[in-house]
Amino acid sequence: MSADSTDRFEDSSAAQQQFLSLFLRSEREIFRYVAALVPNMTDAEDIVQQTAMALWQKFDDYDPAQPFTPWACRFALNKTRQWIERRQRWQALLNRGLAEELAQRREELQPELEQRLRRLETCLRKLPQSRRSLVEGYYYERAGIEKLAERSGRTAAATYKMLQRIRHNLQLCVESQANPEAA
């Protein structure tokens, strides 16, 4: 065992704490980066988790002078690539360079996305109660679609459709709000 690996062990708890605090601060950002490629929540979370393990294993290489999130996102892109290799369906979506293109374009659009989505909370509050509780059930409680369907007395397909419609309305709302005249 080399000297620095000893240090690594002796210091593991401090290093871990430092790592976790950096990671926790960036986690949502990393999640959204991954979700731009693999939007399904549980899959994206799975990839984020794998990314965390990879980041921790390479944490010695991290230069604290550099921002953590972009460093982490490079790993996230790699992990996403590895993850889709084993999943034909997602390969179909992301192959022929689309994964890289989406990641890059999202970065370019970032300021605009930020600005528009600043209004998301206000727009959510404007939703009728029943719709808001569906969004909350799906995204916040992470209740399964069957459960949500049962709660609202809809079919699962109709529940998905309703979520799609709500997101559409939210998007219209944030876009109108992002327009300075409308604000």
Partner 1 sequence: MTLAFPSPEYDDVVAAVCHGTATEAEMSALNELLRSNPDARDEYLMRVEVHSRLASEPDLFPQVTDAAAPSRVPETGFSESRNVFHAKPRMQKSTRTRGRLLALAACLALIAAGTRGLWVRGVAAGKGTTSNAIAMLTRSVDAQWGRSTQPLRPGSALGPERLRLESGLAQVVFYSGARVVMEGPAELQLISPSEAFCPAGRLLAEVPGPARGFRLKTTQLDVVDFGTSFGIDAMHGRTELDVFKGKVEFSGGTAAKQPLREGRAALVQGSAPPQLMAAHPEAFTAMFELEERSQSSEAIRLEQWRIASAWLDRDPSLVVHLDLEGHSGSDWTLRNAADKNQSVQDATIVGCHRAEGRWLEKQALEFQSVNDRVRLAVPGNFESLTLAAWVRVQGLDRQFNSVFMCDGFEPGAIHWLIRNDGVLSLTVKGPGSRNSEIVASPPVLTLDKFGMWTHLAAVIDGKTRKVVHYVNGLPVASHTLRLGPPFRIGSAELGNWNAESGPNPAPSLIRNLSGSLDEFELFSRALTDTEVHDLYTEGKPQLEP
Residues 152-181 that bind partner 1 (CB under 8 A): 160-161, 163-164, 167-168, 170-171, 174
Q: Cβ closer to partner 1: 67 or 105?
A: 105
Site mask for partner 1 (CB under 8 A), range 3-22, x = bound: --x--xx--xx--xx-xxx-
Binding test (CB under 8 A) with partner 1, winner from 145, 150, 154, 177:
145
Q: Cβ closer to partner 1: 62 or 124?
A: 124
Are 23 and 55 in contact, with CB atoms under 8 Å apart? yes
Task: Kindly determine how many residues on this chain lie close enough to bind partner 1 according to the rule CB under 8 A.
Answer: 72
Cα atoms in the Cβ-side hemisphere of radius 13 Å centred on 173: 17
* 115 binding partner 1? (CB under 8 A): no
End-to-end alpha-carbon separation of the chain, Å?
62
Window 41 to 100, contacts with partner 1 (CB under 8 A): 41-46, 49-50, 52-54, 56-57, 79, 82, 88-90, 92-98
How many CB atoms are located within 10 Å of the residue 66 CB? Answer: 9
Binding test (CB under 8 A) with partner 1, winner from 62, 69, 106, 127:
106
Binding test (CB under 8 A) with partner 1, winner from 101, 115, 151, 179:
101
Cα atoms in the Cβ-side hemisphere of radius 13 Å centred on 109: 11
Crossing angle for the helix pair 156-178 and 98-117, nearest 10 degrees? Answer: 60
Rounded CA separation 38/106 (Å):
13
